[in-house]
Amino acid sequence: MTTFGALVRRDLALATLRGGDAALTLVFFVVAVAVFPFGVGPDPDLLARISAGIIWVTALLASMTSLERLYRVDLEDGSLEIMALSAQPLELQVAAKCLAHWVTSGLPVVVLSPLMAMLINLDMAAWWILIVSLAIGTPVLSLVGSIGGALVLGARKSGALIGLIVLPLQVPVLIFGIGAVEAVLRGGPVWPPLLIEAAILIAGTPLALWASAVALRMAIE
Amino acid sequence: MTTSFHRLANPARFQKFARRALPWSWAVAVLGLGSGFVWGLALSPADYQQGDTVRVMYVHVPAAWMAMACYALMALLSASFLVWKHQLAGIAALAAAPVGACFTAIALITGSLWGKPTWGTWWVWDARLTSVLVLFFLYLGYMALAGAFDDRLRGLRAASLLALVGIINLPIIKFSVDWWNTLHQPASILRAGGPSIHASMLWPLAITALGFAAFLVAILLVRIRSELALWRTEALMRRQTRGMT
Amino acid sequence: MSAFFDMGGYAATVWPAYGVTIAILVALVVVSVRSSRRRHRVLERLERETRRQRDP
């Protein structure tokens, strides 16, 4: 567990050193949400109806902005090979990387989501569920994103490629994350989508860790 | 199944098999598709509700079936490539991807054409069409990833893993899209390939599906042989440059 | 006969659907067979060269 903590701490330190990945993701999230009213118009009713979707889709895009860098730096400076050779299972180290990625990209979005929800007129009754659904869903975004980040190591044009690979795989968590918020707005049952979202997180975590580790081993072979 | 599969993993045996199977599969494909299309267009009855638009079913439904079958086949081959290191299996998956993407495109375009008179619009986010759209994206991702590396083998391995991740994800995507669709309650549902289909429509559907399946086999054999030639050429070139230095 | 081509008023639906299907399938065959022939030609040439190099 010491390596796990060390890896998380190192990634977080790197993120702060590089001038704050978290801050950048946060600014992206805020600006991207704020652009939507310019696209669909300022009508409060319309915004209220689509606000959950706007926030969730923007959270998805925000989580992807730093995916390309997730493992590339480790590959270039050789620390990926050290990770693969160390006694700790690579899957555990992938988990540490994902946790660090979530802290710098998912957590800020969760924290700031009520403010953005207010700006685009989401019903206050749904705020809590929005926070909960994002708190469950954003780790999935990081985990699935990690598979994409590991797969494109060494590829040409990896930035656009990650989007093509990762976006379709994120459809389920997006649907149930937004579904939970919409359930509140429509007066339907909130628990089914929320529980399914949690199930995706629980079942998806080992799968994503395994797939990322396999992809990383391919990259250094 | 496993033994024949392992035996086919030998390129020389595969070439022999391909030479023998190709004429037959082309013949079944042309006959099946030809007679199926004529049957579907001219001989089968119009639906009492959908009228003649139901004839689109004979191309739309088998194409969608083949699109899904092709992805399952691709994932199986990819698994065999990653687990047992059968390079031929990986190459076969690579050859299958564009074919699957074409079937998916056919299913999407014909579904959209069918949607115009049924729904009054070209595209509706119907559960079935949406799932097929995501499947199309998965194919595109596989092909893009496989082609994104200077080292062809590296690209193939990455793409094979993506195919596996995709096949695990597909049922979840299907389930979530169905759930999402009932939440938003669409205006009408495309009734295609339902259980209450009449025998006069089942036969042309079965024949076209057979034609599509034979077409899939034939085009796969052609494309695998083509890929094998390419890989062998590159291996020879590598050996030549190594001999020079 | 014209009733057949009219497709009960749905000619604009049925014929393009079959047309697109056939067009895509034919295009797939043409592209695949052509590139296969090209690749096999290149391979055969290369194999002849290597054989000549090995036993001149």
Q: What is the CA radius of gyration of chain B?
A: 20
Q: Which stretch, A155-159, B216-220, B238-242, has highest mean pLDDT? A: B216-220
ipTM over 0.85: yes
The residue assigned the tokens 């509706």 is B124
- B33 backbone dihedrals φ, ψ, rounded to 5°: -70, -40
- Encode pLDDT of A28-60 as tens digits: 999 999 999 999 988 999 999 999 999 999 999
With bands split at pLDDT 50, 70 and 90, how would you rate the model's confidence at B3? very low
- B165 backbone dihedrals φ, ψ, rounded to 5°: -60, -40
| Contact by Cβ (8 Å): A95, A139 | no
| Alpha helices (runs of H) in A65-190, residue ranges in sequence order | 67-76, 79-85, 90-101, 107-119, 127-151, 158-169, 171-186
Q: C20 and B102: CB-CB below 8 Å? A: no
User: What is the span of the domain harbouring residue B37?
Assistant: 25-186+199-244
B13 belongs to a structural domain: no
Chain B and chain C touch, per 3+ beta carbon pairs within 8 A = yes
pLDDT for C28 beyond 90: yes
Q: Which of B26-30, B204-208, B237-241 has the lowest mean pLDDT?
A: B237-241
User: What is the span of the domain harbouring residue A168?
Assistant: 2-220
B67 belongs to a structural domain: yes
Residues of B in contact with A214 (CB under 8 A): 82, 161
B94 belongs to a structural domain: yes
In angstroms, the Cα distances linking A165 to A18, B70, B160, B182 are: 27, 19, 13, 27
SS3 assignment, position B175: helix
Residues of B in contact with A190 (CB under 8 A): none
Q: What is the mean predicted confidence (pLDDT) over B160-169?
A: 94
pLDDT for B184 beyond 70: no
Q: When comparing pLDDT for A214 and B1, which is higher?
A: A214
Whether the CB of B143 is below 8 Å from some CB of chain C: the reply is no
pLDDT for res A117 = 92
Please state, rounded to an integer, the average pLDDT across all residues of chain C.
86
With bands split at pLDDT 50, 70 and 90, how would you rate the model's confidence at B7? low
The residue assigned the tokens 């072979």 is A221
Distance CA B85, CA A210 (A): 19
Chain B contact probe: residue of A144, A147, A164 with most B CBs at under 10 A: A164
pLDDT for res C5 = 72
Chain B, residues 45-64, CB within 8 A of chain C, namely 46, 51-53, 55-56, 59-60, 63
Closest chain B residue to A149, measured at CA: B158
- B51 backbone dihedrals φ, ψ, rounded to 5°: 65, -145
Q: How far is CA B138 from the centre of its chain?
A: 12
Q: What DSSP assignment string belongs to B7-41?
A: HHTSHHHHHHHHHHHHHHHHHHHHHHHHHHHHIII
Q: A182 and B183: CB-CB below 8 Å? A: yes
| Alpha helices (runs of H) in B49-125, residue ranges in sequence order | 57-84, 87-119
Q: pTM value?
A: 0.90
Q: What is the CA radius of gyration of chain A?
A: 18
Distance CA A154, CA B148 (A): 9
Candidates B41, B222, B233; nearest CB to C36: B222
Residues of chain A where predicted confidence (pLDDT) is lower than 70: 1-2, 14-20
Q: B222 and C43: CB-CB below 8 Å? A: no
Whether the CB of B222 is below 8 Å from some CB of chain C: the reply is yes
| Contact by Cβ (8 Å): A220, A75 | yes
Distance CA B75, CA A137 (A): 27
pLDDT for B10 beyond 90: no
Q: Count other Cβ atoms within 10 Å, centred on residue A182.
A: 20
pLDDT for res B124 = 83
Distance CA B42, CA B45 (A): 8
Distance CA A168, CA A148 (A): 11
In angstroms, the Cα distances linking A117 to A50, A51, A204, B180, B243 are: 11, 7, 28, 22, 66
Q: B161 and A200: CB-CB below 8 Å? A: no
Chain B and chain A touch, per 3+ beta carbon pairs within 8 A = yes
Tokens of A108: 């800020």
pLDDT for B167 beyond 60: yes
B8 belongs to a structural domain: no
Distance CA B163, CA B160 (A): 5
pLDDT for B82 beyond 60: yes
Closest-CA residue to A59 (of A19, A104, A29, A102): A29
pLDDT cut 70: percent of chain B above it: 89
Candidates C18, C29, C33; nearest CB to B37: C18
Q: C28 and B60: CB-CB below 8 Å? A: no
| Contact by Cβ (8 Å): B181, B125 | yes
Whether the CB of B133 is below 8 Å from some CB of chain C: the reply is no
pLDDT for res B8 = 58
Tokens of B171: 């049922």
Residues of B in contact with C46 (CB under 8 A): 233, 236-237
Candidates A151, A157, A179; nearest CB to B161: A151
Candidates B82, B137, B162; nearest CB to A151: B162
pLDDT for res A20 = 63
Q: Which residues contact B240 (CB under 8 A, 6 or more apart)?
A: C50
Q: A156 and B148: CB-CB below 8 Å? A: yes
B9 belongs to a structural domain: no
Whether the CB of B4 is below 8 Å from some CB of chain C: the reply is no
Q: A171 and B176: CB-CB below 8 Å? A: yes
pLDDT for B245 beyond 80: no
pLDDT for C36 beyond 70: yes
| Contact by Cβ (8 Å): A195, A66 | no
Please state, rounded to an integer, the average pLDDT across all residues of chain B.
85
Q: What is the mean predicted confidence (pLDDT) over B205-212?
A: 93
Distance CA A110, CA A29 (A): 11
Whether the CB of B162 is below 8 Å from some CB of chain A: the reply is yes
Residue B142, min C-alpha distance to chain A (Å): 8
Q: Which residues contact C34 (CB under 8 A, 6 or more apart)?
A: none
pLDDT for res A140 = 97
B192 belongs to a structural domain: no
Q: How far is CA B150 from the centre of its chain?
A: 26
With bands split at pLDDT 50, 70 and 90, how would you rate the model's confidence at B2? very low
Q: What is the mean predicted confidence (pLDDT) over B198-216?
A: 88
Report the domain count for chain B: 1
Distance CA A68, CA A149 (A): 5
pLDDT for B59 beyond 80: yes
pLDDT for B191 beyond 70: no
Report the domain count for chain A: 1
Distance CA C49, CA B8 (A): 29
pLDDT cut 90: percent of chain B above it: 49
Residues of C in contact with B102 (CB under 8 A): 24-25, 28
pLDDT for res B117 = 82
Q: What is the mean predicted confidence (pLDDT) over C18-37?
A: 95
In one-letter notation, the amino acid at residue A152 is V
pLDDT for res B52 = 78
Residues of C in contact with B104 (CB under 8 A): none
| Contact by Cβ (8 Å): B110, B57 | no
Q: C17 and B37: CB-CB below 8 Å? A: no
Q: Count other Cβ atoms within 10 Å, centred on residue C30.
A: 10
Chain C, residues 12-51, CB within 8 A of chain B, namely 12-14, 16-18, 20-22, 24-25, 28-29, 32-33, 35-36, 39-40, 42-43, 46-47, 50
